[in-house]
Amino acid sequence: MEAEPCFSSPSVYLKLSRGRWWSSETVAVVTGGNRGIGFAIVKLLAELGLTVILTARDTQKGEAAVNTLRDEYGLNVDFLPLDVSDPSSINSFASSFKAKYGPTLDILVNNAGVSFNDLNDNSVEHAETVIKTNFYGPKLLTQALLPVFRALNADSSPTRILNISSRLGSLNKVINSEIRRVLESENVCEKEIDETVSMFLEDVKMGRWKNRGWPEYWTDYAVSKLALNAYSKVLGKRYDDLRVICFCPGFTRTSMTKGKGTHSPDHAASFAAALALLPPQHLPTTAKFFYLPSIHSKL
Ligand SMILES: NC(=O)c1ccc[n+]([C@@H]2O[C@H](COP(=O)([O-])OP(=O)(O)OC[C@H]3O[C@@H](n4cnc5c(N)ncnc54)[C@H](OP(=O)(O)O)[C@@H]3O)[C@@H](O)[C@H]2O)c1
C-alpha cells in the first residue's frame, strides 16, 4: 500500500468540522479506548457530537475512562467490554452492539494494540499475543461487525474503518523479497496474508526468525502491522461501501512508548479523527496508508 503524508496541520481538522456531515446519529466504536491514543480519539469524536462507544478489555478501566469523560469533560459516551484478542469476546461485543444499536455503525476505529518491547529491544517472546491482538483482533472484529455496518445495510455514505497502524509495518522494512512481493501486490488475498503471518510465527517457534528477512526493528509488532495494512487492501476491495484507512500516529507519548514521544495522544487523535471524518467525497476509494509528516516515528 502506498504511504501518504497526512495533513500538514491539525487545524485542518477544524476546517473539516465546517464541512460537517455527521450528527449525533452517527455511531463510532473505538477499541482500546480506555487510555492513550484510543482515549483521545473517543474524547474528540464525542466533543464533535457523535455517538461514541468506548470499548476496553477491562471493564473497570473502561468504566473509569467513561467516568473521567463525564466528570472532567462533560462528555457522555457508552461503554461495552471488548478484548480484541479473544474471539468469544468479539462475538459477544458484536451481539451486544447489534441488540443495543442495530445496524448503525458508521465508524470503526481499530486502535487497540500491544508491543512488549522497550524502545531499543527486539524480543519476539510475545509474538503470538502481538499478532493475535494487532492483526487478528481488527480482522476478526471487522468480520464480526459486517452485519451492523450501516452502509452495508442501508443507503448511506460509506462506513469507515480506521486502522491505527505503524510505519514500522511499511513494506520497505521487509528484507525478504518474496515476502515483500506477496504483501505489496495489489491482488494480495486473505489466504496469502494468513500464510505469511503463520510462516512468521513458525520461524519464531523454530528460532530462525532473525535470518529470514523479517523487519529488523520491533519485528513481531512490525509483522502484525504489515499484515493489518495488507488486509486493509483486501477489505477495501471486497466491499464498495467500506472505506478503509490505515494511519500511523507517529511517535506518541503513551504507555506503549513508556511516555516518550514527540507529541501527545490528543495531537495524534486530531489527525486520526480528521481521517475518520473525511467528507464522503474525499474518502479514498481504495485503502490508503497515511502518516504524520515531519514527525520522526520510532514505531
Ligand atoms: N504510541 C505510539 O508512538 C504509536 C505509534 C504508532 C502506532 N501506535 C499504535 O497506536 C495504537 C494505540 O497505542 P497507544 O500508543 O495509545 O498505546 P497504549 O497507551 O498502550 O494503549 C493501548 C490500548 O490498547 C488496549 N489493548 C491492548 N490489548 C488489548 C486487547 N487484547 N483488547 C482490547 N484492548 C486492548 C489497551 O488496554 P489496557 O489498558 O487494558 O492494556 C489500551 O487501551 C496501537 O495500535 C499502537 O500500535 C502507537
Kindly report, residue by residue over 227-276, the tens digit of the pLDDT. 999 999 999 999 999 999 999 999 999 999 999 999 999 999 999 999 99
> How many C-beta atoms lie closer than 10 Å to residue 161's C-beta?
26
pLDDT of 143 above 70? yes
Report the alpha-carbon angle 243-9-15, nearest 5.
70
Q: Catalytic annotation on 231?
A: no
The model's confidence at residue 291, banded by pLDDT at 50, 70 and 90, is: confident
How many whole angstroms separate alpha carbon 38 and alpha carbon 54?
A: 9
For residues 171-191, give the mean pLDDT: 95
Tell me the CA–centroid distance for residue 112 and ligand 1, in Å.
4
Tell me the CA–centroid distance for residue 293 and ligand 1, in Å.
21
Please tell me which residue, 18 or 164, carries the higher pLDDT value: 164
pLDDT of 209 above 90? yes
pLDDT score for 14 = 52
What is the chain's mean pLDDT, rounded? 92
pLDDT score for 227 = 98
For residues 140-152, give the mean pLDDT: 97
pLDDT tens digit sequence for 86-134: 999 999 999 999 999 999 999 999 999 999 998 888 999 999 999 999 9
| pTM recorded for the entire structure | 0.95
pLDDT score for 44 = 96
The model's confidence at residue 296, banded by pLDDT at 50, 70 and 90, is: very low
Q: Which residue has the CA at smallest separation from atom 33 of ligand 1?
A: 83
Ligand 1 pocket, residue 62 CB under 6 Å: no
Ligand 1 pocket: which of 44, 88, 111 to mutate (most atoms within 8 A of CB): 111
From the list 204, 242, 245, the residue with the least C-alpha distance to 222 is: 204
Residue ranges per structural domain of the chain: 3-290
Options 3.30.365.10, 2.10.109.10, 3.30.200.20, 3.40.50.720; which CATH number does 3-290 get? 3.40.50.720
For residues 29-57, give the mean pLDDT: 98
pLDDT score for 119 = 85
Ligand 1 pocket: which of 114, 228, 263 to mutate (most atoms within 8 A of CB): 114
pLDDT of 39 above 90? yes
